[in-house]
Amino acid sequence: MKLEKVLVVHKKSTYQIQAQEHKEARFLKLIEAGSDVVRRVRLAHEEHMETLELVEGELKRLGIEYQSLWRSQVPGIVEDVDLMISVGGDGTFLDASHALRNVPILGVNSSCSSSFGHFCQANKDNFQDCLEAIIDERVKPIDILRLELSIDGIVIQELALNEVLVAHSSPAATSRYFLNVGALTEEHRSSGIWVSTPAGSTGSMRSAGGSVSPIASRNFEYLVREPYTRPGEFFHLKNGLVSDGAEIRVTSQMRTGEVYIDGPHIIYPLSLGEELVIKASKFNLKAFIREDVNDIFDGPLAQTTKTCSGEM
């Protein structure tokens, strides 16, 4: 793969934000006291900065033109680079993915002591090998399914790589909606609905009782959280797989419903009577990641703790 231009997208560490930039008094006091609440943040910051320096140094060594931006600085859809490299953890990888349509991405776990880095194939120990393998085309990106959302026919720009949560704006309130999957439509009361891609099936979907799918699967899954049924009532649409080409429809019965995309930061209102449509996007994410990356969560290896290794 010919690499002429690379965009490096990196996070700001917790220590950088709270101690160095905002100088938050309580945070600094906890650091000084050696509190367990914050004891790892300085180490995580040092690891992150060391990894970012290594990534940028390796690109310089190879003569590859690059730009380095905080993830909040990424300007819309990125098209004019050959590769995006996210430096951080899974949150940074997810945020970076929203700016991509056709550009491939490599995730670099910048702090193995604090970040699981499920999507991050590289770390400071193996980054050079990973980058050389990409250039030599010994590894190729795989296509990962993402979800396209629209509300009353208006398409949302962000594509969901991990999951979508549809719920009331208050976690203590009942989520009320009509759910349509295939030929069935039901009126529900619950704590909300998870809709997960195969990439996100190891996260909230798995924790809520859903299934873990291979990351290259073309199906996505929905699961109703804490469905409330009256005596004698039964919901058919509680959990299931939806094939690529099909769609899920949610019509809100909530005045203040909300749609959360890949975590708590991207939120769209879903007001009374509005219809949310969720389907597979035509824009897969092209990512340098192993096809068996989800296997650790399923079968005999499900209880194994992932560690940063030097293997690609």
Whether residue 195 lies inside any domain: the answer is yes
Q: Report if residue 50 sits inside a domain.
A: yes
Task: Indicate if 259 and 297 belong to the same structural domain.
Answer: no
Domain harbouring 62, CATH code: 3.40.50.10330
- φ, ψ of residue 305 to 5 degrees: the values are -90, 130
| Residue 179 is assigned to a structural domain of this protein | yes
Do 164 and 74 lie in one domain? The reply is no
Indicate the pLDDT class of residue 299, thresholds 50, 70 and 90.
low
One domain for residues 211 and 180: yes
Greatest Cα pair distance in the chain: 69
Is residue 228 located within the same domain as residue 296? Answer: no
pLDDT digits (tens, 9 = 90+) for 23-69: 999 999 998 898 888 888 988 999 999 999 999 999 999 999 999 99
Please indicate, yes or no, if residue 89 is contained in any of the structural domains: yes
84 phi and psi, to 5 degrees? -105, 135
Same domain, 262 and 295: no
Q: What φ, ψ does residue 47 adopt, rounded to 5°?
A: -65, -40
So what's the pLDDT on residue 300? Answer: 44
Q: Are 250 and 176 in contact (CB under 8 A)?
A: no
pLDDT computed for residue 114 by the predictor? 86
| Domain of residue 163, residue span | 147-280
Residue 217 lies in a domain: yes
Query: Are residues 168 and 129 both part of a single domain?
Result: no
- For residue 263, tell me if it sits in a domain: yes
Burial of residue 58 (number of CB atoms within 10 Å: 0-12, 13-18, 19+): middle
CATH number at residue 245: 2.60.200.30
Same-domain status, 203 and 221: yes
At 242-271, the pLDDT tens digits run 999 999 999 999 999 999 999 999 999 999
Residues 151, 250 within the same domain: yes
312 falls within a domain? no
From the list 56, 31, 33, the residue with the least C-alpha distance to 45 is 31
Residues 174 and 253 in one domain: yes
Chain mean position to CA 210:
17
Q: Are 199 and 158 in contact (CB under 8 A)?
A: no
Active-site choice (36, 80, 82, 90) = 90
- 308 found inside a domain: no
Whether 161 and 183 map to the same domain: the answer is: yes
Over residues 157-163, mean pLDDT? 97
Q: What is the pTM of this model?
A: 0.90
Q: Where residue 73 falls among pLDDT bands split at 50, 70, 90?
A: very high
Give the chain's domain count: 2
**Strand 219-225 vs strand 239-243: parallel, antiparallel, or unpaired?**
antiparallel
Q: Output the average pLDDT for the chain.
A: 93
Residues 257, 292, single domain; the answer is: no
- Same structural domain, 103 and 175: no
Radius of gyration of the chain (CA): 21
Asked if 63 contacts 136 with a C-beta cutoff of 8 angstroms, the reply is: no
Most confident of 71-75, 101-105, 293-297: 101-105
Instruction: Give yes or no for residue 276 having a pLDDT over 60.
Output: yes
Count of other CB atoms within 10 angstroms of residue 250: 28
90 is catalytic: yes
